[in-house]
Structure 1
């Protein structure tokens, strides 16, 4: 058990460092786009959700209003609704729940769900969440302060680092046929609808794949009971 937790801890620390590197790229990009550094830095602390922060800064940099940018960010962050159901026991109770909910992000949820028992799930969730709330804002601050030294941060390919990281976290959790089918249907829905729907909606639509697979599983269970 100790060896397993040690491996999980090392993996979490590595992921947090990667998030810090991606944050440096984000901070540098935001400054190069003419956005004041305090905007992405404050977002990194009070929002703590990379995808919605990227979208918010992009809208602001393109001349959009903060209200429109905030609505777009909220739409993308709606994926946290199913996240909350998945890790409702890990976020804690009472006042602790407020911080626990704030620490909810793609990585902390993925690490929590990958653990086999409730204690390990909670430890992984909090360790990852606390690590990211330190590394992510710090990375953005460093990238923003030294952003003028990197005129084209996108040339380093760091924009592909975060999606690759999430894919690496998700794939090991696809341990059953039902989970693989759910992931495939959800990914297919998002891929097909991305060119036609506003940003954020394809991701929300992909969650509906859970309903299809859940109903099929229920039907299969009923058939087994009859037999």
Structure 2
């Protein structure tokens, strides 16, 4: 696996980077397996979740759309649910745009494989080359593992039974939490994360799935406010 990353774009990665990317990929494969199994277990043909994962490639939105359909909702309602969940990708796209090359093809491909995880990896390092390498390493790993897991889960769906009872979708949040915890070192970051988590948990019973995550971004307001309070005031020296 290490030799795969010894290409020009990935030469800036360390073994720890590859290990972290692989960990997220394994979690994505497990959750993808759950998605494929739930889809075919709910009556969809095998090709539906496979094509959906290739074309849409947005785990939360795919689960939301699938849930709407299985609950008897219309395809339009399923699409709207997916769009609401993916609304966060618009600011994500602006954030990651300067991490990619100016090539139109790379930006198009990069936008398709953009995920929360790939953005987080891209922002881990301020060095442009490492940031770009981390973004593509995570994005491609997730794309391959998610679609492989979906395909396997879709084929196994009819014999696996109700995949939701296995709690496979808990693997992804667990892995992300393990990756995020080391970044919660200073009090400002801890406060922002705590506020966002509290808001998200309180609103979860009352808002559609995915919306509490967006609202929890209010935690960033506290982070920005504390930053302004701690910045020293500068005074202009009088002109001689």
- Give the C-alpha shift of residue 169 in structure 1: 2.2
- Deviation of 1:61 (Å): 1.0
Match of 2:205 in 1: 195
- What SS does the aligned partner of 2:234 have? helix
* Whole-Å separation in 1 of the counterparts to 2:133 and 2:140: 11
Shift of 1:4: 6.7
Matches within 5 A, 1:21-40: 21-40=30-49
Shift of residue 3, structure 1, vs aligned partner: 10
Q: Aligned equivalents of 1:85 and 1:178: distance in 2?
A: 24
Q: Does 1:49 align with 2:50?
A: no
Task: Specify the alignment match of 1:134 in structure 2.
Answer: 144
User: SS of the counterpart of 1:78?
Assistant: helix
In structure 1, what is the Cα distance between the partners aligned to 2:123 and 2:183? Answer: 8
Q: Which segment drifts farther, 2-11 or 32-41?
A: 2-11
Q: Determine if the alignment matches structure 1 residue 82 to structure 2 residue 91.
A: yes
Unmatched tracts of structure 1, length 5 or more: none
**Corresponding pairs, count:** 224
Match of 1:158 in 2: 168
SS at match of 1:114: coil
Alignment of 1:81-100 (within 5 A): 81-95=90-104, 96-100=106-110
Q: What secondary structure is seen at the aligned counterpart in 2 of 1:146?
A: helix
- Quote how far apart the aligned CAs of 1:42 are: 2.0
Equivalent of 1:63 in 48, 66, 72: 72
The normalised TM-score by structure 2 is 0.85
Aligned partner of 1:11 in structure 2 is 20
Aligned partners of 1:182, 1:57: CA distance in 2, in Å? Answer: 32
Deviations 1:138-193 (A, max 9, x none): 21111111212211323433121111122122222223322222111111111111
Larger radius of gyration: 2
User: CA 1:199–1:152 in 2, change beyond 3 Å: closer, same or farther?
Assistant: closer
Q: Match for residue 114 of structure 1?
A: 124
**3-state secondary structure, aligned to 2:102:** coil
Say if 1:106 and 1:166, in contact at 8 Å, map to a contact too: no
Within 2, Cα distance between the matches of 1:172 and 1:48? 28
- Quick check: 2:30–2:171 contact (8 Å CA) kept in 1? no
Tell me the equivalent position of 1:183. Answer: 193
